Structure 1
């Protein structure tokens, strides 16, 4: 049975009276699990509580669900302990505990769960009320298994676990707690006793503080079927087993290996020529000593099938290997050694996605080959060498290479977007030099982004107005731009006059009796507009009639909205304390299905045209104390609305001071005509 969690408490009290229930599927369970009364669920076979982040413990009585076969606790990130008597749940076949990072240990006696086939996360314990690692020898496990808190085990227990005989396991993870230190010999001995079978597909080793890996890990035959390998936080290891020889390896992650200097140490010429023959994805992160790909002098290491490479904080690495099929490149570095080499290299002709993060503001761009690049998605963090106010020849040449670009995201950059005719999505974050129009001395570019469909701007502290927006735009989202004064630009604003009172009167007249010859809005394709935390905006003139979604949040100076919004489906306005009226300014809103108005303390009226609210499905109005009555059209449709919340309409926002007495019912709020 699938459960709607909106009225879950009442539902459970009713449904749990029926003893015939076989399956209960309530992911992201919002209530305390004590509401699940096991005594009424003797026939339950399947229970899903996955994603219930607030659950810290399960009730002990769950242990009497003797017929339960599947218990899914995946993603219960606050769960600390399982029922102590879980050993009596002998019908249990699948126990999903993946993502239960706070689980302190497994309950004692798990060896009695002989039917168990799946156990995704096992926290090793060392107390009498816990199961240690040797309990695994009695379980016929398959699929994935993550062994954590291995510092609580020893070599003898790890040997007894007999992991090598668990031939149905496909994914294995060995993890020690990072905050508990042991002697290096402990790590080597325990890992040495955890040898696995040769058909394993994925292996992760994390927080391993041994100086070397066990000898069996140098046996390539152990890894013949391995497709994915992760080494994470192994600071003492100076070299890794011969991963370059693994014939099936497709994904390799090396993170936090502080002493690793070379990827292919000890490899001969023949080995290097056939290294990483099937690798498709490579991530190198926090490898502060890595400076070479191979120990062989003069031989360039080739990754023939590599498509995706991510290099982050590897300061000694100055060049990339030969990767003829590279498609996705992500680089984060303080000095642009790798970035410079990429931008002037042959990789540009094959790459489709690039993400660069460079913290060096003084770096200069090297001359580039102006051949056309195939890159369609580009993310830049910092990278000021790619943005120059003087539009140097080198910079212009580089951007001319990106003529196929469709998605561009820039963060903390100097910001000067060059003409990108195919660009469809532009995201700008934390670019404090962005003002919206060229600075003195810079040429105007006309329309540099003629096919742009999505524009997102966030945390641009000096932005006062938007640049010349193209008519192709479908969505605009602007967040945390405190100096923003205009959305459509200075030209369009001045067309409507300067005095707000005269503007508003004119706008009301225009929306009530639109002229057939009225000019088409220059953003005739715009469907979604979202404005959040923009302190200096005073209003929105001439909203485009194509709008379907309008969201305003925390714009304290906004006093008015105007436009004939017949296509609008969603209107959400919150914390706009200067907004006074929406009546006669937006048209009838005949297509509106969702209306949400909250914390607008000066708002007195809403639209009330002859076609208003004819499509309304959801209504919420709260903390609008100046609204003395609802419009007649809205009152007429209240009885047919299933989704409505009006009890706090005339209440004052408790965050703004003392709370006024609330009416007992809507007969005191709605003034009927």
Structure 2
């Protein structure tokens, strides 16, 4: 049942002898009275968004129970639910906390309304998993010794919790957005595998974690007053993420983390650059450095021979990447590194399939493309995705024809780019060029035999798109190319389905015949456009929109029988429309702001 507006779930539902599962997503503010009766086989009951005002005794057979927006005075009786594994309750007004003595193994409490009375909550001793969200509880104590998972989210009033040393089975600890200032005995959780601390503004020091031999992942984020991570980190650690800890000054020696596979650190402005770059490389697979202005040189990574992804973002002082990049690299992202001038030649990396350079204003194309710029074979032989954004030094993009696996080329905001030289790869599927104001010349696209999408926009100096378009083309979008005067003949693109042209003020005519495959044709703000091709043969055309074409006088020929949507806006010179009487499939017709239109043919 989804989005049902009911005041009571029908009694007949609970008489179904073998009913095992009820899941209902009710409309908001829907008041529900739940009377389950003798439905003794029910295993799963989930009532989501239901404003539950009355709740009868729940069947002992329940394994999973989720009730949101409980509008009742007392905590539901669950002590008899001996099979219950997961409990998820949300209260919509102040509710008294109950105590369960049945073998509940998972408990989730979500409430804005539980306040400092009571200041604590008692939990069943056999609980395995406990999640607490949006609670105003100030203290959390008496945690069951058998807990394996403890997750606290957005408990902003929570100031303290008991010593965790007795939680010998705890494997996952996540605390987010609370007022806790200290996590006692954190270094004693011998079975801990996962630790996440986020938004803990009162925590200043994390203790030595070196004895946690099972710990595999640490994530610390937005702990703005954290100054120090003491001691050592366990050598078993595989993932370390430290984000936006602006006061952090001291971290343990990272070179001892021989098993480290993923390392991310960013926006820690007080950390010493040498401490950051001291990470172990032997098993590293993912490296991301971001928002670190203190890093000026990235040392040689050639010995990180398992590294698959390297991401450098917003490292404004980074000047050079030294040495060589590892042959194992598959993804290279370098974004907003405004000072970067020198990096190793990436074109010889045989496994590299994605390269993204964005807003590296001092980086020249020679540094990016390396040996690939002189069209040598067997370079970048696995490259599939090449994106270059905001590269102010690039004036010419050399021949990329030898990149025989490249499927996606995206060039944007390269304001000084004048020409894309040579040929494009035969393998290219998606070509996007945008905001390259100086671009004057494109390569002939006919050699890109599998090109499916071609989008070009805001290239104000582009006068002509030369040659033919490939037969494979499905989508063509041209936007804000104010100097464009001539389009290629579209008739060769026999598979074209969508053609949109917008704000090309000097385009007078769409030449030649449009392909019979066309389904959507849109022209916006092409003020000089005087003529549209005959549309009568476009037997698949469903959507036609013409807007802001001030000099368009006539739409010639008949409209196809297939047309479903016709919209014509603000074509000031338009005097006559085609006969619409044969457009038997037309469902949506809108004509607006065409002041010279004198005749509309009969519409059947």
Shift of 1:559: 4.5
Task: Map 1:119-518; keep pairs closer than 5 Å.
Answer: 122=90, 129-131=93-95, 134-135=97-98, 145=108, 153-154=115-116, 156-160=118-122, 162=123, 165-169=126-130, 172-176=150-154, 187-188=159-160, 191-192=161-162, 199-215=169-185, 217-221=186-190, 224=191, 226-240=192-206, 243-263=209-229, 265-266=230-231, 275-277=234-236, 279-294=237-252, 301-315=255-269, 316=271, 317-335=275-293, 337=295, 340-341=297-298, 343-345=299-301, 347-361=303-317, 363-365=318-320, 367-368=322-323, 370=324, 373-383=327-337, 386-387=340-341, 395=343, 397-399=344-346, 402=349, 404-413=351-360, 414-415=362-363, 416=365, 417-418=368-369, 419-420=371-372, 421-422=379-380, 423-436=383-396, 451-472=405-426, 473-488=428-443
Are the equivalent residues in 2 in contact too, given 1:173–1:204 (CA < 8 A)?
A: yes
SS in 1 for 2:75: helix
User: Within 2, Cα distance between the matches of 1:649 and 1:451?
Assistant: 42
Q: Residue 47 in 1 paired to residue 24 in 2?
A: yes
The separation in 2 between residues aligned to 1:652 and 1:287, in whole angstroms, is: 57
The answer to whether the 8 A contact 1:64-1:89 is kept is no
Give, in whole Å, the separation in 1 of the partners of 2:53 and 2:224. 43
What is the Cα deviation at residue 609 of structure 1? 8.0
Equivalent runs, 1:618-629 vs 2, <5 Å: 618-621=542-545, 623=547, 626=552, 628-629=554-555
Question: Residue 597 of structure 1 contacts residue 620 of structure 1 at CA under 8 Å; is this kept in 2?
Answer: yes
Conserved 8 A contact 2:300-2:325: no
Residues 144, 172 of structure 1: 8 Å contact kept: no
Q: Is contact 2:101–2:124 with CA below 8 Å preserved after alignment?
A: no
Instruction: Output the CA distance in 1 between the equivalents of 2:89 and 2:208.
Output: 28
Aligned mates of 1:237, 1:59 — CA distance in 2: 39
RMSD: 4.5
Alpha-carbon distance in structure 2 between the residues aligned to 1:300 and 1:164: 39
Task: Please say if residues 96 and 118 of structure 1, whose CA atoms lie closer than 8 Å, have aligned partners that are also in contact.
Answer: no
* CA distance, structure 1, for counterparts of residue 223 and residue 211 of structure 2: 20
Distance 1:233 1:560 in 2: 56
| 1:39-90 Cα shifts (integer Å, max 9, x gaps) | 69737833347xxxxxxx81334x14656932456xxxxxxxx636375796
The 3 A distance-change label for structure 1 pair 172 and 328 is same
- TM-score under structure 1 normalisation? 0.64
- Counting only pairs closer than 5 Å after superposition, residues 558-573 of structure 1 correspond to structure 2 as 558-563=484-489, 564-573=491-500
Higher strand share: 2
- Quick check: 1:425–1:452 contact (8 Å CA) kept in 2? yes
Instruction: Give 1:427 shift.
Output: 0.9
In structure 2, the residue matched to 1:4 is none
Local SS of the residue matching 1:432 = coil
Most deviating of 346-355 and 529-538: 529-538
Q: When you count helix as a share of all residues, which structure comes out higher?
A: 1
1:649 maps onto 2:568 in alignment: yes
Partner of 2:66: 95
C-alpha distance in 2 between matches for 1:71 and 1:604? 61
CA–CA separation in structure 1 for the residues paired with 2:169 and 2:150? 11
Provide the C-alpha distance between the structure 1 equivalents of 2:510 and 2:602, rounded to a whole number of angstroms. Answer: 22
Shift of 1:529: 0.5
8 Å contact 1:541–1:561 — kept in the other structure?
A: yes
Shift in Å, 1:314: 2.6
The separation in 2 between residues aligned to 1:154 and 1:96, in whole angstroms, is 23
- Whole-angstrom distance in 2 between the partners of 1:555 and 1:41: 57
1:392 — aligned with what? none
Q: CA deviation at 1:356?
A: 0.7
Cα distance in 2 for partners of 1:426, 1:163 equals 55
Partner Cα distance (1:66, 1:591) in 2: 59
Q: What is the alpha-carbon distance in structure 2 between the residues aligned to residue 403 and residue 288 of structure 1?
A: 38
Closer, same or farther: CA 109–309 of 1 in aligned 2, 3 Å? farther
Is the 1:372–1:400 contact (alpha carbons within 8 Å) kept by the matching residues of 2? no
Aligned-residue offset at 1:231: 0.4
Call closer, same or farther: CA 1:244–1:266 in 2, change over 3 Å. closer
Preserved CA contact (<8 Å) 2:486 2:507: yes
Unaligned runs of 5+ in 1: 1-22, 25-32, 50-56, 74-81, 98-104, 389-394, 438-443, 493-519, 639-643
- Of residues 572, 593, 598, the one that matches 1:659 is 593
Q: Alpha-carbon deviation of 1:580?
A: 6.0
**Which residue does 2:133 correspond to in 1?**
none
* TM-score where L is the length of structure 2: 0.71
Alignment partners' CA distance in 1, 2:525 and 2:219: 51
Maintained 8 Å contact 1:332/1:356: yes
Tell me, what secondary structure is at the counterpart of 1:478? strand
Separation of aligned partners in 2, 1:347 and 1:258: 34
Superimposed CA distance per residue, residues 271-313 of structure 1 (whole angstroms, 9 cap, x where no aligned partner):
x6xx241x3322111234545543xxxx775334322111112
Aligned to 2:375: none
